[in-house]
């Protein structure tokens, strides 16, 4: 999604639709008790007028995940409380979604 939008100017209503589709994807993951842990524009794919969440390498089952504070993770999209407490929740994913 990130590179698509950089190369293709879109009207605001189309961008809003893309964001809505990403939100539906995140809602689906959370309904299945899955934490994505790496929601970012680079991990949202766009094609055939659909946004799909991708890159499940950091995904964990459950609603709370205690991260290893010594492990390196992408921090640009992380909620401040996750950086401070090293705990991921669904709220962390929602914060990251808001950064889109």
* Catalytic residue from among 38, 48, 55, 93: 38
What pTM was estimated for this model as a whole? Answer: 0.86
pLDDT of 69 reads 79
* pLDDT digit string, tens, across residues 38-62: 999 999 999 999 999 999 999 999 9
Distance (Å, whole) CA 40 – CA 18: 13
The per-residue pLDDT for range 10-30, each reduced to its tens digit, is: 899 999 999 999 999 999 999
Please check the confidence at residue 6 and state whether its pLDDT lies above 90.
no
* Annotated catalytic residue 38: yes
User: What's the rounded Cα separation, in Å, for the pair 47 and 76?
Assistant: 25
Q: Which of 81, 52, 77 is nearest to 64 (CA)?
A: 81
Confidence (pLDDT) at 72: 80
pLDDT digits (tens, 9 = 90+) for 61-98: 999 999 887 888 777 788 999 988 989 999 999 999 99
DSSP the chain: -HHHHHHS---HHHHHHHHHHHHHHHHHHHHTTEE-S---GGGEEEETTEEEE---TT-EESSEEE--TTS----TT--HHHHHH-EEEHHHHHHHHHH-
The domain ranges of the chain are: 2-99
- Longest CA span, the chain: 42
Q: Which pLDDT value is given to residue 89?
A: 96
CATH T-level assignment (fold) for domain 2-99: Transferase(Phosphotransferase); domain 1 (1.10.510)
């Amino acid at each position: 999604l990130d590179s698509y939008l950089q190369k293709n100017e879109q009207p605001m209503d189309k961008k809003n639709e893309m964001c809505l589709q990403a939100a539906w994807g995140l809602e689906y993951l959370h309904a299945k008790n899955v934490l994505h842990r790496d929601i970012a524009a680079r991990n949202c794919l766009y094609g055939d007028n659909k946004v799909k969440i991708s890159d499940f390498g950091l995904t964990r089952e459950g609603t709370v995940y205690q991260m290893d504070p010594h492990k390196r993770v992408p921090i640009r999209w992380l909620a401040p409380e996750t950086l401070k407490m090293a705990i991921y929740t669904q709220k962390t994913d929602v914060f990251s979604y808001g950064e889109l």
